[in-house]
Each structure stands twice: as C-alpha cells, then as structure tokens.
Amino acid sequence: MPGEPAPGTVGNLTPEQEVKLKEFWVLTLKVFGLTLDELEAPPSTATSDAATPAPAQDKKKPKSRWGIWGRADDDDSKSGSSSATASVASISVGDGDDKYGQSKEFKQALEDMKPEEIRTAFWSMVKGDNPDALLLRFLRARKWDTKKALVMLISTMRWRLLEMHVDDDIMFNGEASAVKMSQSSDPKEKKKGDDFLTQMRLGKSFLHGVDRAGRPICVVRVRLHKAGDQDNEGLERFTVYTIETARLLLASPVETATIVFDMTDFGMANMDYAPVKFMIKCFEANYPESLGAVLIHKAPWLFSSIWSVIKGWLDPVVAAKIHFTKNRQDLEKFIHSNQIMKELEGDEDWEYKYVEVPENENPKMADKETRDTLLAERQKLAKEIQDTTVEWIRASFKNESDAASAAEQKRNGLIDQLRKHYWVLDPYVRARSLYDRLNIVQGGGKINFYPDSQKESGSTAA
C-alpha cells in the first residue's frame, strides 16, 4: 500500500529538484502572460544534478474555448503579441530528442493560443491535483531539463484544448452524451455514440481495484477488440476517457496506475497497431509519469513477433515498466490474491457489469449560474496560487528564508483549498461516469475502490 512519496515527487524533493520546480514555474507563468524576468535561480544551482533522488522518506478546428477559466475573449491579443510569452518562444528541442515533434507543436501553441487559453488548459488539467505534482511529472519525464519540460507541457495543453477537447467535450459530455448520440438520426453521430457505448458495455477496458502499491488498476481485455469495429476517432476518445477517469482515482502519494493487458484467447484478429501507437503517445507525450507498471498477461507465442515491433516504439523508461505474467502466481507479485478477480484466476468474486446511464443523470450541469459562480471562485483561487508562487520563488531566490517559508505555507493552504473546491465544482463540469454510478468516485473526492466489500479501501483523491 502507499507509503512515503516517491523520489522527485511532492514531499520528497532534493534542494536541487526544488530549484528546478521553481525555475519551471517561472517559465510556465511567463507563458501564462506574466512578466517575471527578474526571477532567476541563484548561479550556484546551474550545475546541480537535479535528477539525483532524495533520501528515502488530430488537428481539428476548435469547437469551443470554454474551460475551467471560462470562455476566452476572441478580441484579446494572441499570445505571440505578449512580451512575456515571446520571451520563451525561442525555446526548442533538438530533433534527436523530439520523438513526437513537440517543438513544432509548442511554437504552434504560442501562435494559436492566447496566454489565457493556455492557462485555462493548465488549470483544467490540474482538476483536484496539486499543480506542483503536475509540473513535476513533466520535469521527471524530461530529466529535469526545464526548457524541454516546458515544450512538453505546452504541447500537451494544445493537444488537450484544440485537438482532443478533453475537458470541454470528452469529460464534459461523457457517457450521457454518447447515449444521446446513439439515438441520433444522423448516421455519423449515431455511430460515434454507438462505438463509445459498445466499448463501455463490453468492458473492453475498465478500472477496478488497486495493486500492492495502492495504484488503480486498468484491465484491458484484448480479445474483445476487433480491428475495424470502431474507427480511430472512437478508439482515441474511449482511450482518453479511460485515462482521464483513472486520474480521478489517484490519491496522494500515489501518482501512477497499473495496466493489465489480459491476452487470454488473443488472436491476430485482435491486433490493431493504430490504437497501440496512440496509447503509447498518450503516456509518453501527454500523460508523462502516469504508468506504474504494465502487465502483459498470458501472451501467446504468436505475440512475440508483434511485441518485437511494439517494443521498438517504446521509450526505454516505459519499456522498463512492462512485465510479462503467465499465471496467478506471477500476478500475485503485483496484486494481492484477494484483489485479483476470478476472471484472472484470483480470489476476488467480482465481474465487470456496465450500469446504464439513467435519465437526467447530470442535473447540476444545467445550472449554469452556479457553475459560473464556482468557476469564478476557482479562477480567483488559481490566481492567488500563481501570485503566492511568485512570492515564494522571489523570496527563495533572495535567500529570505522567513518570507519564503511564510509564502510556502500560505501557498500550500491555497492548493488544499483548490483541491477541495474542485470536488464542489466537479458535478457542474464533468458528466457522471460508470465509476460514479458504482459509488467508487464519491462526494468530496472520496474514492472507494471496493464499495461492495468490507475492505478498508477509501482514500481521498489528490
């Protein structure tokens, strides 16, 4: 079960890593439009090895630019005209270290998006998380290089807001929207809804329980996938929906999840390279440091040639998290036997059953007045966190320890308020999911991975 925070995460940073976090905040806030050129790290940190662990303790047209911060004013100046943003526009990553072309996406984001829109996407992604934890994911993924981390972060914000529409469509509309689309007279809309619901009803992939490290488990039943049953857009939408829902289940200090690919009865008809590539890109480029372990269970001999292809696509850090398991005993190295479901030859008497969307499941989402009030409150809290972050960094870099400590304490309190406030806002900006209906995601951010059992399994997300 979870214990001490992992090295390089909130609560377990070396002094050098904390300086890197502050430097990354300065760059990020500049992209948000703040002028912070006077904030520079002390020269003594320039050669610090921040990566040293702490001691153990599709390019679619935007549909809407609504988000956690509200709708941006189309008459506002573009981010490229902001002097603060322009100061970071020259940052790039060498071709040899830019697997997904994120330098180009970074520059495109600065051209396409206003500072407010990038800030919108950032705080929308934070949800009930600690914003430091989010930035640290990108820093660890880029080996504590702040400029490379910034390119990765801003590229992800563009992907979320302008390409996938994660918060203003996929999570906002959710399963209820898929039901409505499945009843449409428009064949394209109907197929879009049917494809999503088919995957949910089949249980092609689902979230259930935790592993020995307290990490949420996602089970992917590969035999249920048939290439061509759903188009790429439908598969990508379902994949992002599952990843984003899993993020809601993360409770500090747990920051990663485990995926079990159940290869039972796998055949070549189940192999589909396009969604595999998309999933890899998601975890390497858009959800960095989110995988704890990947278990490929009961892979048949014919998978070996497929694996040799897939392995070549993987970053070595991701590849190192992949383990092949053949039986219950192998799974028990990662998951307690009483938390391995019988389908996987474990002791847990549980099976996946989809609970259909009831009528009028999201009444609060129609209350725009309350939603707008809560969004304004969140915007105010986020701005206070940004301002206090500047105070904290300025005092730290000036070696004003008392002022830095006071700012840090104030900042931690604001971050806790933001986390609690998100769960008040949540039913107004996120359609209810299967996991809400199963009472796994409960009010106030409480998570119960085993709501139908007597196990002590509750935790508080973020």
Q: From CA 52, how far away is CA 235, in angstroms rounded?
A: 39
Give the chain's radius of gyration (CA, Å): 22
Distances (CA, A) of 455 to 209, 337, 348: 11, 14, 12
Query: Quick one: tokens of 194?
Result: 């049917």
Q: From CA 447, how far away is CA 462, in angstroms rounded?
A: 10
Query: Is residue 68 scored above 70 in pLDDT?
Result: no
Q: Give the torsion sign (CA, 78, 81, 84, 89).
A: positive
At residue 454, the pLDDT reads: 53
β-pair partners for 261? 220, 296
Query: Is residue 3 scored above 60 in pLDDT?
Result: yes
**Residues contacting residue 106 through CB under 8 Å, at least 6 positions apart:** 91, 92, 150, 151, 154, 155, 158
At residue 42, the pLDDT reads: 58
Concatenated DSSP letters of 66-92:
--TT-PPPTTSPPGGG-HHHHTTTT--
Q: From CA 250, how far away is CA 33, in angstroms rounded?
A: 30
Helix (H, G, I), strand (E, B) or coil at 312: helix
pLDDT digits (tens, 9 = 90+) for 235-268: 999 999 999 999 999 998 999 999 999 999 999 9
At residue 44, the pLDDT reads: 46
Query: 189-344: which CATH topology?
Result: Phosphatidylinositol Transfer Protein Sec14p (3.40.525)
Q: From CA 267, how far away is CA 279, in angstroms rounded?
A: 20
CATH 3.40.525.10 in the chain is located at 189-344
| pTM for this predicted structure | 0.91
Distances (CA, A) of 140 to 15, 20, 149, 152: 15, 10, 8, 11
At residue 293, the pLDDT reads: 98
- Most confidently predicted of 10-14, 35-39, 88-92: 10-14
Confidence of residue 75 (pLDDT cuts 50, 70, 90): very low
Helix-, strand-, coil-residue percentages of the chain, each rounded to 5: 55, 10, 40
Q: From CA 277, how far away is CA 35, in angstroms rounded?
A: 39
State what percent of residues in the chain have pLDDT above 90: 82
Say how many CA atoms lie within 13 Å of 329 toward its Cβ.
Answer: 0
Query: Is residue 49 scored above 90 in pLDDT?
Result: no
Q: From CA 240, how far away is CA 258, in angstroms rounded?
A: 16
Peptide bond preceding 275: is omega within 30 degrees of 0, i.e. cis? no
pLDDT digits (tens, 9 = 90+) for 372-420: 999 999 999 999 999 999 999 999 999 999 999 999 999 999 999 999 9
β-pair partners for 205? 220
